[in-house]
Amino acid sequence: MCASWRPPNQPDVCIVAACSRHDAYILLPSERRRRERSRKYTIVNGKENASVTQSQSNQVAPPPGERPEDKNIKAFAAVEQAELEQQQASSQARTVKFSFWRWGTSGVMRLLYRYWTRIAAHLCPEDSLGERIAHALRVPLPDTLNMSWVNSHLAVGGRVRPEDIAALAKVGVTHVVDTRSEYCDDAEAMRAQGIELLYLPAPDTWPLSIEQLLEGSRWVNAQLQKDGRVLIHCEHGVGRSVLLTCSALVYGGMHASEALELVQRQRWQAAPNGRQVARLREFEVACKSLPRT
């Protein structure tokens, strides 16, 4: 049995008396409002019997010893772990990889193309009907420039013959990078046509050094910023020139895998070997630590 009484001059104070060892207690206004919002109270034999509201009954109590802030910490840790896994997956997806299949098939196609050039010299002589038909069908002829435009200002290709220098100037090439160690373009003949030459020699089937790639990439990007048109070439336009072209794109901000994919899409002969692809990965890592001005 219990009884309650409110003082006349203090309506917000409620005194509850119980016939037990807890004779009476006072509920202050703030405490009383809090309890009225969350629970319904009765006094039974001097002990509290709580009737939990519906909103609280729907809540799941945390395990013993676990605090609410522990749940927040675990949630943040799970989000960070998910973001880390996503970054790792994205990094692996962007990693440039060597394709043995493309390297082998392009090698066979290049061999067949070499035989075709010998046949085309007899079937499609200059200013003949055969030449016009070949041009209409977009069949490559040996007298055309061995180069492919990666974008509007950057091209990659194979050997530049002395008689091709004037044709290079005619298509707007202003700068050339020769990556062959076995030969070197005629700098004087190119200068006479208004073309500037940079020579970065590397043996056939071998990659350029990191220092050469940095020098070439800086030089190429500097010319592109001046609205120049650059041709990077080696002997066949397969490995060394492709490596430097991709490096120049990486230096300009592109991922190595995206750069190689772009070059191979624009030039079917592009097929750097395993050593050259590995050097491209090394160059991408080196570029990340470079201070940019």
Which domains, and CATH codes, for the chain?
Answer: 2-47 (no CATH), 97-144 (no CATH), 145-288 (3.90.190.10)
Asked if residues 27 and 41 have their Cβ atoms less than 8 Å apart, the reply is no
Position 25 scores a pLDDT of 46
Helix (H, G, I), strand (E, B) or coil at 214: helix
Output phi, psi for 8, to 5 deg. Answer: -60, -40
For residues 145 and 198, what is the distance between their CA atoms, to the nearest angstrom? Answer: 19
Examine the pLDDT at 201 and tell me if it is beyond 90.
yes
**Neighbouring residues of 83: CB distance < 8 A, sequence distance ≥ 6:** none
CA distances from 261 to 103, 111, 224, 272 (A): 13, 23, 20, 12
Position 8 scores a pLDDT of 58
**Neighbouring residues of 27: CB distance < 8 A, sequence distance ≥ 6:** 13, 14, 16, 35
Asked if residues 141 and 131 have their Cβ atoms less than 8 Å apart, the reply is yes
User: What interhelical angle do 240-251 and 274-288 show, nearest 10?
Assistant: 20
Q: Which range in 7-21, 73-87, 185-199 is most confidently predicted, on average pLDDT?
A: 185-199
For residues 172 and 193, what is the distance between their CA atoms, to the nearest angstrom? Answer: 11
Per the model's pLDDT, the better-predicted residue between 2 and 157 turns out to be 157
**DSSP-assigned letter for residue 38:** H
From the CB of residue 241, how many other CB atoms can be counted at a distance below 10 Å? 31
- Residue-wise pLDDT for 75-112, tens only, equals 667 767 766 666 665 555 467 766 677 667 766 666 66
- Residue-wise pLDDT for 70-81, tens only, equals 666 666 677 677
- Which helix (H) or strand (E) is 4 found in, with range? strand 2-5
Examine the pLDDT at 176 and tell me if it is beyond 60.
yes
- Residue-wise pLDDT for 207-218, tens only, equals 999 999 999 999
